[in-house]
Amino acid sequence: MNDTNTPIHFERSHDILINATPSAVLDYVCNPNSWPEWLAASHHIDSEDRPLRKGDHFVEKWHTKTGEAILNWSVTDCEPGKYWIGETYTDFLGTIIVRYDVTDTDGQTRFTRTVINPSRPKAATDKMIAAMDEEAKIALANIKRNVEMS
């Protein structure tokens, strides 16, 4: 907890334009087997190899500064071609929610990835936020490249 023992709500969004349909982008990112291709922290997924839908579950092995974390994810909501929401829990960050939104923007797709910690034990530092922003920039560029090449 922070100094007042009050959990902190944290939310960070990043977006990119991709030359593909909203469905193609969302189907790629909501298949967790693609995550190690574009997300540096993700290095092993135990999931069916398909876009996951509401009620589906999967396991991710995730690199942290202190080692490896096993994340048990649930897809809590989804509308194909529009958005996807997954949720997990860690002892060190509490609940983690990821939301992927896609919208058609003049023939391109705006992909937005939002990470939410609704009850983070302590505030993210400026250094942590800068690192998250840099990782997101790389991840989104990887998604763009991979989707546009397929």
What amino acid is encoded at 75 in this protein? V
Tokens of 69: 């974390």
Q: Per residue in 118-129, pLDDT tens?
A: 999 899 999 999
pLDDT at 2: 47
Q: What is the mean pLDDT of residues 25-36?
A: 97
**5 phi/psi in degrees, rounded to 5:** 60, 25
Measured CA angle at 71 (ends 70, 73), to 5 deg: 150
pLDDT at 3: 53
Contact 140, 18 (CB under 8 A): no
Work out the pLDDT band at 4, boundaries 50, 70, 90.
low
Tokens of 97: 């929610």
Please choose, from the candidates 70, 33, 28, 36, the residue with its C-alpha nearest in 3D space to the C-alpha of residue 48.
33
Rounded alpha-carbon distances, angstroms, from residue 22 to 110, 112, 149 = 8, 11, 15
pLDDT at 103: 97
Which structural domains are found in the chain, ordered by start?
8-149 (3.30.530.20)
DSSP-assigned letter for residue 123: P
Asked if pLDDT for residue 149 goes beyond 50, the answer is yes
Cα separation, 15 vs 112, whole angstroms: 4
